[in-house]
Chain A
């Protein structure tokens, strides 16, 4: 890497790469945590003030106000924290599915074929359509969205883990353990799981940005959270009705905030990947 990131100059130049990576992860994590806590502390029933409706951004309302006079900045933060919760739920469940399927695939050839086929199956329906269908089947709402996003995002991680488990399975110490009479389950738990744990962890974090984006997308289309929830997707689909009137702030800032949160999670995921897998760092 020839290029120097911003933190490689000035104040932080005394740190080594590992410390810088840790610092980046810490700072981004802190920002996300603060957003999450703030959103959590905000009361869902925002004060409405019709005298202040449809105000353009100003010092007292940095993101402007909506058609009911609610402050868009507060609504956005609340929406982001909801997105983060859903993202956490969906990515944990999806990596759980991925881990189980990767281990199932390692049992024998038939199971492996089955898992590959399952991956093909899920990869061949357009993501959004799959999420819509699952969400409809589960009756929409937060539960529907979390499950829908989880059940459509395990594919990539499963591919990675399956290859990894397959490789470890051919190693000598696994063969030795097998000869010594250890059960497959014991080998999976004691030999394989600890080695793929970091992969699972990074995989979970890398699913996160997609989970948040897809949640917002299906909610925007009307298949996700209910219109009463303060979600970003709801805010953006509401804003569609006011765009023609020139209320650009209703759509611009919430979307930008979502973009920033997604980017932050991406940064954490990438940096963590580098930290846990130094051999890959230069790719």
Chain B
């Protein structure tokens, strides 16, 4: 069974926490500076279309601190962040944390479901391709992955949208809520109905890298001596794949899947835009296009934590769950 050295794990997690903290401070500062250097004028962005006089503009600027130096502004932003507040979203008119929590939970269902689907199918396809190396099955799977790796996520989404929503009419064209209905009154099935296509798009796009990885790993296992020995003992082919192949490649595959949070988040932004799914991706695009700087910066920080969490879990699995790597200095 899995036996984890708790002292070592605590030290490992402590170090990781320090790393995350430094990372977050630097990213918060850099992204803030980047926005400050951009042509976006925060006062203008706040006022939107309203017309104000020069004096009022100056008062607003003073109130918001746009006349401070860059260094002072960065320190101000970091100290506000440290107090746990991310400011006020300009588009949604509520605190940024509230927007992010709401939008992120909506996206989480999308991300988690497609992450699991792509993990399972990606792994199975990889095993199939690796086991049947050189046959037409392998070639079909390889070509599929190759093409998917070269195609833009949003275009796949558009094609699926055209086929399933416009041509076949199976799914609605956009929005997670039917028109003329409040979001609280949506039934589970209505919601699920609108989740399927975006989740499906995100899944088939996410499969490629995992499948190729699993395939290559399995092929290298097939070349190993213990594989040959198992064959010599007369075990059945799929029995060997199951007992010697999958056992050896499952953990690295899971690790790879956890390390894909970066692409998962990127894919979500594009897919949500195509399917008009009101999650964190749409909020990101809206924040960027409409100069909602507080929200944009908040999303950068949250997504960094998200990606970091994925990599951390991958690290932990790699170092603590794999019995071979746990070995020596554990006692």
Q: Which residues of A contact B (CB under 8 A)?
A: 2-3, 120-121, 123-129, 132-134, 136-139, 209, 213, 216-217, 220-223, 236, 239-240, 243-244, 246, 248, 251-252, 255, 258-259, 262-263, 266
Contacts and interface: CB of A to CB of B under 8 A. Distances in A.
B266 A133 contact: no
A216 B265 contact: no
Given A126-B303, A136-B35, A251 B162 contact: yes
A221 B299 CA distance: 16
17 contacts: A121-B23, A125-B304, A126-B269, A129-B265, A129-B284, A133-B35, A133-B300, A136-B288, A213-B152, A216-B152, A223-B289, A236-B154, A236-B155, A259-B150, A259-B151, A259-B152, A266-B149
B159 interface: yes
A258 B151 CA distance: 8
A263 B270 CA distance: 21
B38 interface: yes
Contacts of A248: 162, 166-167
Given A125-B27, A252-B159, A217 B284 contact: no
The residue among B38, B155, B300 with the most chain A CB atoms within 10 A of its own CB is B155
A132 B284 contact: yes
Interface string B116-146: 0000000000000000001000010000001
Contacts of B37: 137
A127 B263 CA distance: 7
B166 A137 contact: no
A120 B311 CA distance: 11
B150 A262 contact: yes
A83 to B, nearest CB: 11
B151 to A, nearest CB: 5
Nearest to A132: B288
B91 interface: no
Interface of B: 23, 26-27, 31, 34-35, 37-40, 134, 139, 146-147, 149-155, 158-159, 161-162, 166-167, 173, 262-263, 265-266, 269-270, 273-274, 284-285, 288-289, 296, 299-300, 303-304, 307-308, 311
B300 A129 contact: yes
B307 A125 contact: yes
Given A217-B270, A255-B152, A266-B150, A3 B139 contact: yes
Contacts of A125: 27, 300, 303-304, 307
A138 B263 CA distance: 24
A213 B150 contact: yes
Chain A to chain B: the 5 pairs with minimum beta-carbon distance, closest first: A255-B155, A137-B34, A128-B266, A126-B265, A262-B150
A125 B303 CA distance: 7
B147 A120 contact: no
Given A223-B288, A263-B150, A240 B274 contact: yes
Given A222-B285, A243-B166, A255-B159, A136 B150 contact: no
Contacts of B26: 121
Given A139-B38, A243-B173, A259-B151, A221 B285 contact: yes
B304 A246 contact: no
Contacts of B300: 125, 129, 133
Contacts of B155: 236, 251, 255, 258-259
Given A3-B134, A217-B270, A236-B155, A126 B150 contact: no
Nearest to B303: A126
Nearest to B216: A283
B265 A217 contact: no
Contacts of B166: 243-244, 246, 248
Given A2-B134, A255-B158, 5 more contacts: A3-B139, A213-B150, A221-B288, A259-B152, A262-B150
The residue among A2, A138, A259 with the most chain B CB atoms within 10 A of its own CB is A259
Contacts of A236: 154-155, 158
Nearest to A251: B158
Contacts of A2: 134
Contacts of B311: 124
A139 B173 contact: no
B239 to A, nearest CB: 25
Contact of B270 (A128, A134, A240): A128
A122 to B, nearest CB: 10
B35 to A, nearest CB: 7
A128 B167 CA distance: 30
A221 B273 contact: yes
B289 A127 contact: no
Contacts of A120: 23
A211 B26 CA distance: 26
Contacts of B39: 139
B304 A262 contact: no
B158 A129 contact: no
A259 B39 CA distance: 33
A35 B159 CA distance: 24
Contacts of A217: 152-154, 270
A239 B154 CA distance: 12
Nearest to B286: A222
A179 to B, nearest CB: 38
A236 B274 CA distance: 10
The residue among A2, A132, A139, A248 with the most chain B CB atoms within 10 A of its own CB is A132
Contacts of B270: 128, 217, 220-221
Contacts of A221: 269-270, 273, 285, 288
A248 B151 CA distance: 17
